[in-house]
Amino acid sequence: MQHPAVPELAHTRTRPIHWVATATAVAAVVALSSVLQPDAATAAQAASPKAEPSRTQAAPPDPASVTFPLDCGPVKALVQKKASGDLDGDGRPETVAAVHCDAPMGTPPDGVYVLTPGSDGEPRVVATLIDPEERRTVTDLSVTDGAVLATYLGYSSADVPSCCPDVEEDAKWRWNNGAFVRSAPSKAHAV
């Protein structure tokens, strides 16, 4: 019995280009599999009555990547001090930054701003605690127990020269009903 003649098919003979194509395809699959990983498996455990929910610790917003509402002209805004902590009780940290224009001479006034991650993940300014127009120089800034604490130098009157602040004050702000509320400052004292 005679078999009909079958033409020789191109893909039945291996050539070096076939091995290169196969190696490239395998490398692509391996690279893709290292990027697309399934979530880690976790064992389900019964929650104990005293167990607290775990929260993912997010990084606080970085003030270096924010455009602050300062008119610095040809110089840049400079973050002088910063502190981070959860100010609104949502489990994610906010950042408080004392910022002034990087002037070549003198002591430019500071602005104190609260930063939070935006919907796109980029930090954004959500509140101004001290406006630079108040002519304050922040000497200490911290976040403690969900409150912003600041110590700053200021002026007893408009007649005091900008070079020589003569008053030191402390201030405290706490998130309350959708806004930062400043508590009564301690008595200002002369510097």
Strands 189-190 and 167-176: antiparallel
Average pLDDT in the 42-60 region? 52
**pLDDT band at residue 6 using 50, 70 and 90 as cut-offs:** very low
CB atoms within 10 A of CB 143: 21
C-alpha span between 60 and 116 (Å, rounded): 8
C-alpha span between 95 and 66 (Å, rounded): 11
The pLDDT tens digits for 154-170 are 999 989 888 889 999 99
The pLDDT tens digits for 59-106 are 899 999 899 999 998 999 999 999 999 999 999 999 999 999 998 887
CB atoms within 10 A of CB 117: 18
How many residues in total does the chain contain? Answer: 191
pTM: predicted TM-score of the whole model, two decimal places: 0.68
Domains of the chain, residue spans = 63-190
Q: What pLDDT shows up at residue 42?
A: 39
Count of helices and strands (H, E) across the chain: 1, 9
Residue 9 pLDDT greater than 50, yes or no: no
Using alpha carbons, list the distances in angstroms from residue 182 to 51, 143, 146.
34, 14, 13
Q: What pLDDT shows up at residue 147?
A: 95
**pLDDT band at residue 19 using 50, 70 and 90 as cut-offs:** low
Q: What pLDDT shows up at residue 32?
A: 47
**Tokens, residue 119:** 């919907």
**pLDDT band at residue 121 using 50, 70 and 90 as cut-offs:** confident
Average pLDDT in the 37-59 region? 49
Q: What pLDDT shows up at residue 163?
A: 84
